[in-house]
Amino acid sequence: MHSVYDGIEEHDNHLPNWWLFILWTSIIFSAGYWFWYHIAEVGPGQLGEYAAESAEVAKRASGNAPASDGMLLALAKDPASLESGKQVFQANCAACHGVQGQGSIGPNLTDAYWMHGGGPMAIHKVVADGVVAKGMPAWERTLGAERVKAVTAYLLTLKGTNAPGGKEPQGEPEQP
Ligand code: HEC
């Protein structure tokens, strides 16, 4: 078609391919987007993203909460925290306390004897602040509060396992 009005010509050109390409791709994209987020809900969507972010913020806030006996005992039952505590232990503590906590340069952490107390907060304090003069480093600064809690929780699960080949007891039996 080709029309002329008042000497002004209207051409009926084909739409350029690049233009059609963008048109069809956006239509296909929007259908996919709609399906992905709103129908199948494979992607998290706005509400999902919001929930994930809130959970992350809550987790960070609890990571900053001061440790307590109750919190450490709860972490000692949390598989994710124990897994992270175990990794921290293997990477930072096993060299002195043995891979199973059986002791070598540092004391046995699997027996019932403790120099600085075997309660959750007593262990947490030694790990966080160290006994620097006796060769036990302070870890809170290097590892951060969250990992110190995780490794303390992990130690609570090693306690009383009496790993084979353990170092002789040091300190006092833990008071029940
Ligand atoms: C460089 C060696 C070394 C490293 C690394 C080390 N420790 Fe120790 N640790 C010691 C020594 C030595 C002691 C004994 C301190 C004392 O005599 O008071 C000790 C004591 C402890 C105690 C107190 C035990 C008790 O009987 O009261 C705990 C708990 C402990 N370490 C946990 C850890 C954790 C957790 C890590 C890793 C994050 C770690 N240590 C890394 C050397 C080390």
Each residue's pLDDT expressed in tens, for the chain with a length of 176 residues: 567 888 888 888 889 999 999 999 999 999 999 999 888 888 788 888 888 887 777 666 666 788 999 999 999 999 999 999 999 999 999 999 999 999 999 999 999 999 999 999 999 999 999 999 999 999 999 999 999 999 999 999 999 999 999 999 999 998 76
Q: Is residue 22 part of a domain?
A: yes
What is the value of pTM for the model shown?
A: 0.72
Tell me if 109 sits within 8 A of 159, measured CB to CB: yes
Q: Residue 94 is part of which domain span?
A: 67-173
One domain for residues 77 and 138:
yes
Distance between CA atoms of residues 107 and 138, nearest Å: 16
Tell me if 152 sits within 8 A of 124, measured CB to CB: yes
* Ligand 1 neighbours (beta carbon < 6 A): 92-93, 95-97, 105-107, 109, 114-116, 123, 126-127, 131, 134-137, 139, 151, 155, 170-171
One domain for residues 75 and 122:
yes
pLDDT for 57-78, tens place per residue? 766 666 678 899 999 999 999 9
Distance between CA atoms of residues 109 and 161, nearest Å: 9
Tell me if 81 sits within 8 A of 153, measured CB to CB: yes
One domain for residues 141 and 75:
yes
The domain spanning residue 150 has which CATH number?
A: 1.10.760.10
Q: Is residue 51 part of a domain?
A: no
One domain for residues 24 and 91:
no
Distance 127 CA to ligand 1 centre (A): 7
Q: Is residue 57 part of a domain?
A: no
Ligand 1 atom nearest to CA at 135: 12
Q: Is residue 50 part of a domain?
A: no
The structural domain count of the chain equals: 2
pLDDT for 107-131, tens place per residue? 999 999 999 999 999 999 999 999 9
Distance between CA atoms of residues 147 and 153, nearest Å: 10
Distance 42 CA to ligand 1 centre (A): 47
